[in-house]
Amino acid sequence: GAVVSQHPSRVICKSGTSVKIECRSLDFQATTMFWYRQFPKQSLMLMATSNEGSKATYEQGVEKDKFLINHASLTLSTLTVTSAHPEDSSFYICSARGTESNIQYFGAGTRLSVL
Amino acid sequence: GQNIDQPTEMTATEGAIVQINCTYQTSGFNGLFWYQQHAGEAPTFLSYNVLDGLEEKGRFSSFLSRSKGYSYLLLKELQMKDSASYLCAVRDLIRNAGNMLTFGGGTRLMVKP
């Protein structure tokens, strides 16, 4: 299957700092990437859909100024958690879907802990 | 809106067979996916069904009935490493131009010796 690389895998930061998470499709071009958040023992909640070259589409209740998404190329999308607070601590996962596939492939996830 | 229901937890014995059910309600069904997720890791793709019937892939099979809004994932010859959460996800043509998946709550499967 296709490979999606997500970096970093773990971040510990102080409250008020910003954190950038990268998501790359390594062997295919991803016209669409997705960002999810997952709290312990809960399912994946879609935060936003990122399309290359256009603005991201955010789900209801997700603050776009808080979670900045940039889909700069067909292989890279970034999520920046701005002015992170302890309640932003979570597992963030990206996925990517190629132009000719119905399947979303997931990155390994980023565990964010805000102190 | 979408409703995706699956059992929260299941327990099975090593070597046995287990069936994990998923029911859904959606306006513009365009495919159902099963993913496996080990604790603290990202989901990995298991299967995709868009037409009625059974798709078999090694020890794992997935079944879909669109008229009933029903799918199941069948795991045979269970191994300890199959202990994980299994996520049912539905793709809806109407939502976000059919790009997004909506996930069920996941079924946590525990395989015992």
Other CB atoms within 10 A of residue A74 CB: 17
Q: Residue B73's closest CA among B89, B60, B83, B82?
A: B60
Q: Is the pLDDT of residue A77 over 80?
A: yes
Contact A49 B31 (CB under 8 A): no
- Cα separation, B101 vs B82, in Å, equals 23
pLDDT value, residue B98: 62
Of all residues in chain A, the percent with pLDDT exceeding 90 is: 68
pLDDT value, residue B95: 67
Instruction: Give chain A's end-to-end CA distance (angstroms, integer).
Output: 37
Q: Is the pLDDT of residue B56 over 90?
A: yes
A102 Cβ contact partners less than 8 Å away, ≥ 6 residues apart: B31, B48, B50, B91
Q: List all residues of chain A from 86 to 115 with a beta carbon under 8 Å from chain B.
A: 91, 93, 97, 102-109, 111
- Cα separation, A29 vs A6, in Å, equals 15
Q: Residue B22's closest CA among B82, B74, B73?
A: B73
- Least reliable range by pLDDT among A39-43, A46-50, B91-95: B91-95
Does the beta carbon of B99 lie under 8 angstroms from any beta carbon of chain A? Answer: yes
CA atoms within 13 A on the CB side of B52: 6
Eight-state DSSP code of residue B95: G
- Cα separation, A100 vs A33, in Å, equals 14
